[in-house]
Amino acid sequence: MHLTGKIAGSVIIIISILAVFPSVLSPYDPEKIDLDSIKEPPGIKHPFGTDNKGRDILSRVLYGGRVSISIAVIAASISMFIGLVMGLCSGYLGGKIDTAIMAVVDLILAFPSLLLAIGVSIIFKSPGTYTVMIAIAFVGWASFARLIRGHILTLKEEAYIEAAEAIGCNRFRILFVHLMPQCLPIGLVMAGIKLGGYVLTEASLSFLGLGAQPPMPTWGSMVSMNRAYIASEPWMVLFPGLAIAVTALCFNVLGDALRDKSGLKVKM
Amino acid sequence: MVGERAQPEVIEKIRKELGADKSVLSQYAGYIKLLLQGEMGRSYYTNRKVLDDILIKFPNTMKLAFGAMVIAVPIGIFLGFIAAYKKDTLVDRIISAVSITGLSVPVFWSGLIIMLFLSLKLRLFPPSGTGDIRFLVMPALTLSLPAIATLARITRTSVIEITGMPFIGTARAKGLSVFRINAIHIFRNILIPLVTVIGLDIASYLNGAVLTETIFGWDGIGRFTMDGIIKRDYPVIMGCIIIGTVVFVLINIIVDILYHYLDPRVRLYASDR
């Protein structure tokens, strides 16, 4: 793996640890309002400054990371799982099932992905963490399904599948015992490639107010709520945005390295 | 629409007016009938015809997308060519780093940063609003950043692939000038992947437009959709989605037709040999 891939991987590990244990480093309670120290510029007491309600930005960025990264990872897992099952069925069973699944996949991939995710998330009465995950996974599984289906089409011609059919394994067994393990690695690589994009989608949805709801901090909603202060107190917007950019960048670099290593030809 | 303390009779009256008391199927049939008559209904809030509003706002979004393309296409292709020629050198690495960063920075944030520097610090452009070219520069620039990154990446890969082909060796051996080899032999062959990406990018402009138009107060279809979504103004949402999909399909058809002119080997009709 390239050096850049390794560096990106290490940064991801650090970010993930911070996201799991935000309380270790964060100096303040992220939701505590302190009206004595509103709009303070970055300094020793508040390394990233404070916002218009006196909340410490560093603490909020750390806790926001927990929300953003867990949503991206869980959404990627759901997408991978649904995509895997759909791709397996589509590729192995063929026929009408294949046509039907691929028609849905084409439909989803033909649509501007963010608009579709926004559309899905407004179906629910109250937006929140779960609706974001569902919205991202609803759009996300399609590209997994297409990739896995292509892989299965070549795999099902292999001798060991023919042998399994010959000794009378049922379809269910062939699908989930013989074919599924062969698809897991490319599914995981694909998930790695897609994660950066999911972080950005989560941030965009919560920027638009469709993500996790206040007072829970998320990076996107911090940028959105503080953007009125961009001229006078730019740090309020600068740091949460930087957190999104750095996380997405590291995931994308890592995804690139994974793709080069695996020889997969897929879009980010 | 009626507030929190509305009388039950008022609610019932509005339900009747909107047809919400009918079954889902007959509501759907009603909408299809409306569409076939070239109408999209009226907004729940402004009571204006959705189609009229879309026709006013759509050219604005097209202006924005066109502006973004004017910035992105030359810069992206140029960076891609440079990266391909300087393959595996420092320059190539810097260009890849820049392009992967372009794909990772959220547009709503880069838009705000661009606004901070160009408008609030340097006072070059008005910070937000819809209007002439001065209003267009910053949103178009914001929207072009991810497009530049994708274009640079795809150009680099395609140029490297084509340069390795035997006919380029022949062209060199014939003693053609470097400019001629690049401008004619290589460029014509990378046009197909480039046109595909530019066509697909229109879809991502629609994605980005929702965010950029919200930030810069650009009165286009993206912000209109977003407003509709937040207010749950269903006629507006459905109208915008239908228009967006139609545009996307049209662009795909245009791209498919363009293939034939860019590369005569691609046949449009089965009989066309």
Which pLDDT score is estimated for B79? 92
Whether B31 shows a pLDDT value over 90: the answer reads: no
Q: Look at residue B112 in the predicted model and tell me its pLDDT.
A: 86
Residue B127 or residue B110, greater confidence: B110
A233: phi then psi, degrees, rounded to nearest 5: -125, 70
Burial group, residue B179, by CB count within 10 angstroms (0-12, 13-18, 19+): exposed
State how far residue B78 is from chain A, nearest Cα, in angstroms. 21
* Contact residues on chain A for B112, CB-CB shorter than 8 A: 223, 227, 230, 237, 241
Residues sharing a CB contact under 8 Å with residue B178, sequence separation 6 or more, in sequence order:
none
In chain A, what residues touch B232 (CB-CB under 8 Å)?
Answer: 122
Q: Do B245 and A111 touch (CB under 8 A)?
A: yes
Which residue of chain B comes nearest to A121, CA vs CA?
B229
Least confident of A36-45, B27-36, B148-157, B216-225: A36-45
The C-alpha atoms of residue A21 and residue A28 are separated, in whole angstroms, by 14
Confidence of residue A144 (pLDDT cuts 50, 70, 90): very high
Interchain proximity B112–A244, CB inside 8 Å? no
The predicted model gives B213-223 an average pLDDT of: 84
Q: Does position B271 have pLDDT exceeding 60, yes or no?
A: no
Preferred mutation among A15, A61, A108, A114 to probe B, highest tally of B CBs within 10 A: A114
For chains A and B, CB pairs below 8 A equal 96
Predicted local distance difference test score (pLDDT) of residue A76? 93
Q: What is the mean pLDDT of residues A127-144?
A: 89
- Token pair listed for B78: 């140029």
Of B103, B206, B232, the CB nearest to A115: B206
Q: Do B106 and A208 touch (CB under 8 A)?
A: no
Average pLDDT over residues B44-72: 85
Of the CA atoms within 13 Å of residue B100, those in its CB half-sphere come to 24
pLDDT at A83: 94
In chain A, the residue whose alpha carbon lies closest to the alpha carbon of B214 is A208
Identify the band that residue B4 occupies on the pLDDT scale cut at 50, 70 and 90: low
* Mean pLDDT along residues A231-250: 86
Give chain B positions within 8 Å (CB) of A204: 106, 108, 211
* Averaged pLDDT of chain A: 84
For an interface test with A, which of B207, B241, B243, B251 has the most A Cβ atoms less than 10 Å from its Cβ?
Answer: B207
Nearest to B111 by CA among B217, B229, B223: B217
Task: Write out the two tokens for B94.
Answer: 């810097």
Q: How far is CA B126 from CA A43, A65, A180, B106, B116, in A?
A: 32, 33, 56, 22, 11
Q: What percent of chain A lies above the pLDDT cut of 70?
A: 95
Q: Which residue of A has its CA nearest to B118?
A: A231
Chain B residues in contact with A256 (beta carbon < 8 A): 100
pLDDT value at residue A77:
94
Give DSSP secondary structure letters for A109-171: HTS-HHHHHHHHHHHSSS--HHHHHHHHHHHHHHHHHHHHHHHHHHHTTSHHHHHHHHTT--H
> What is the overall mean pLDDT for chain B?
81
A243-263 pLDDT, tens digit each: 999 999 999 888 888 888 877
With a cut of 80, say whether residue A192 has pLDDT above it.
yes
Q: Of B104, B204, B214, which is closest to A252 when you measure between CB atoms?
A: B104
Residue among A195, A233, A121 nearest A222 (CA): A233
pLDDT over 50 (residue B273): no
Residues B224-238, mean pLDDT to the nearest whole number? 82
Question: How many other C-beta atoms lie within 10 A of the C-beta of residue B7?
Answer: 9
Nearest-CA distance from A202 to chain B in Å? Answer: 10
CB B180 within 8 A of CB B223: no
- At B212 the three-state DSSP class reads helix
DSSP letters spanning B99-115: HHHHHHS-HHHHHHHHI
pLDDT in tens, B111-170: 888 888 887 777 777 777 676 777 788 888 888 888 899 899 889 888 888 888 888 888
Which residues, 6+ apart, have CB-to-CB distance to B114 below 8 Å? B138, B141, B142
How far away is chain A from the Cα of B135, in angstroms, using its nearest Cα?
A: 18
Residues of B in contact with A237 (CB under 8 A): 109, 112
* Residue ranges in B48-186 assigned as alpha helix (H): 50-85, 90-104, 107-114, 133-163, 166-173, 178-180
How many angstroms from the chain centroid is the CA of residue B188? 24
pLDDT at B212 over 80: yes
Band (pLDDT 50/70/90 cuts) for residue A267 is: low
Q: Which of B147, B157, B140, B142 is nearest to B74 (CA)?
A: B147
Question: Looking at residue B232, what is its pLDDT?
Answer: 79
- Give the number of other Cβ atoms within 10 Å of residue A195's Cβ: 24
The answer to whether the bond into A240 is cis (omega within 30° of 0) is no
Contact check, Cβ <8 Å, A252/B103: yes
Report the residue from A208, A244, A252 with minimal CB separation from B100.
Answer: A252
What is the C-alpha to C-alpha distance for residues B75 and B58, in angstroms, rounded to an integer?
Answer: 26
| The pLDDT value given to residue A79 | 94
CB contact (8 A) between residue B100 and residue A209: no
Give me the numbers of helices (H) and strands (E) for chain A, helices first please: 11, 0
Residue B15 has phi, psi (to 5 degrees) of: -60, -40
Q: What is the ipTM of this complex?
A: 0.81
CA distance A248 to chain B (A): 5
Best B103, B109, B206, B212 residue to mutate vs chain A (most A CBs within 10 Å): B109
Predicted local distance difference test score (pLDDT) of residue A74: 93
Q: Which of A222-231, A243-252, B50-59 has the highest mean pLDDT?
A: A243-252
> Does the model's pTM come out above 0.90?
no
Partner-chain residue, chosen from B109, B120, B245, that has the shortest CB–CB distance to A244: B109
Query: Does residue B156 or residue B14 have the better pLDDT?
Result: B156
| Residue whose tokens read 């062209």 | B171
Indicate whether B91 pLDDT > 50. Answer: yes
pLDDT in tens, A58-110: 888 888 888 889 999 999 999 999 999 999 999 888 889 999 999 899 888 87
Residues of A with CB under 8 A from a CB of B: 110-115, 118-119, 122, 196, 200, 203-204, 207-209, 220, 223-224, 227, 230-231, 234, 237-238, 241, 244-245, 248-249, 251-253, 256, 268
Question: What would the two tokens of residue A187 be?
Answer: 């599914």
Question: Residue B190 has what pLDDT?
Answer: 85
Q: Measured between CB atoms, which of A115, A230, A268 is closest to B115?
A: A230
Q: Is the pLDDT of residue B92 over 50?
A: yes
Q: Which residues of A touch B215 (CB under 8 A)?
A: 227
CA nearest to B205, candidates B248, B259, B156, B153: B248
Shortest distance, CA A90 to any CA of chain B (angstroms): 25
Is A1's pLDDT higher than 60?
no
Of B108, B203, B237, the CB nearest to A204: B108
Could you read off the pLDDT of B170-201 as tens digits, one per residue?
A: 888 888 888 888 878 888 888 888 888 888 77
| pLDDT above 90 as % of chain A | 18
Whole-number pLDDT of residue B161: 85
Least confident segment among A63-72, A175-184, B25-34, B150-159? B25-34
- By mean pLDDT, which of A65-74, A180-189, B44-53 is the weakest? B44-53
Chain A: residue nearest B101 by CA?
A249
